[in-house]
Amino acid sequence: MPTPRSAFVTGTSTGLGRAIALALARAGYGLALSELDTGWLKDLLAHPDMAARKVVPVALDLRVEASIRAAYAAAREGLGAIDLLVNNAGRALLKPVVDVAWSDWDDVIGTNLKGAYFLSQEYARDCLAQRRPGCIVSLASTHGMTGLENRSVYGISKGGIIQMTRMLAIEWAKHDIRVNAIAPTTVLTPSRERLLSDPKRREAMLARIPTGRFATEDEIAGAVIYLASPAAASITGHTLPIDGGLTAY
């Protein structure tokens, strides 16, 4: 029988994090699932796909160093070892540059980039101490690859994830720790469906995508499964756009 695999996924109560967690559960992974408040995970933990898996709910605030260390320790204790880290948790911000406050910057960059960096550091320290291979997949965005108004801080944070992916991949390749990222365009999550209920807004966003459609949660989750699999053993330092051709312009 294959060796059981385990994954730590951040930001899993809704949207992409939830879809990724369910896909990993179906693929046989034991899971540490994080949120600011573990009570938010109640519905996910009750999902039938979680029934046969070892699942550890973990409280995590990526803006706080002590929380990162405590959450990783709890995940490690619950799972025994962690084969995959998925940096999914993030905060969005839709504001003109002139209206962005210092607190906005700290909140978005602290969660999306700084927090992901230091959680990845914690994970790599564990892999190195145990002399185990590792795999990190982070959620970037096409906003980190292209320019768009009113999304400066979010785009900067995701551009940072893309460069972080390169830097960590080069430094840790000799230790067999692979580091990759996924850069989706708009993904049809339930919350995004509500935002796209305005036909004009929906048409304007679709007009930027050559394939004429948005990505699905399953497509993003499937990419995580692939990048964590033996089929991707030679892939590291790469950011995979899932964008219908948007960044091909």
Helix/strand/coil percent split, the chain, to 5: 50, 15, 30
Q: Are 34 and 73 in contact, with CB atoms under 8 Å apart?
A: no
Helix (H, G, I), strand (E, B) or coil at 174: helix
E strand or H helix at 56, and its extent?
Answer: strand 55-59
pTM of the prediction? 0.95
Alpha-carbon distances of 11 from 24, 85, 164, 229, rounded to whole Å = 14, 12, 19, 22
* Identified catalytic residue from 72, 154, 226, 249: 154
Reading the block at residue 201, the tokens are 């807004």
Which distant-in-sequence residues (6+ apart) come within 8 Å of 12 by Cβ? 18, 20, 21, 33, 34, 35, 41, 44, 88
Q: What is the arrangement of strands in the sheet containing 55-59, beginning at the earlier edge strand?
A: 55-59, 29-35, 5-9, 84-87, 134-139, 177-184, 239-242
Reading the block at residue 143, the tokens are 């906003």
Report, in angstroms and rounded to the nearest whole number, the Rg of the chain calculated over CA atoms: 17
Strand partners, 56: 32
Give the pLDDT of residue 190. 74
Reading the block at residue 202, the tokens are 């929906």
Torsion angle in degrees (nearest 10) through CA of 132, 133, 134, 135: -160
Neighbours of 42 (CB within 10 A): 10
Q: Which fold has domain 5-242?
A: Rossmann fold (3.40.50)
Give the pLDDT of residue 4. 63
Reading the block at residue 52, the tokens are 């046969």
Distance CA 182, CA 241 (A): 6
Q: Where are the domains of the chain?
A: 5-242
Query: Is 233 exposed, middle or buried (CB count within 10 Å of its CB: 0-12, 13-18, 19+)?
Result: exposed
Q: Are 8 and 123 in contact, with CB atoms under 8 Å apart?
A: yes
Q: Is 154 designated active site?
A: yes
Neighbours of 15 (CB within 10 A): 18
Give the pLDDT of residue 1. 37
Q: Tell me the mean pLDDT per 10 residues along the chain, length 249.
A: 80 96 97 97 96 94 98 97 97 97 98 98 98 98 95 98 98 98 90 77 90 94 98 98 94
Q: Where do we find the tokens 């790599």?
A: 124
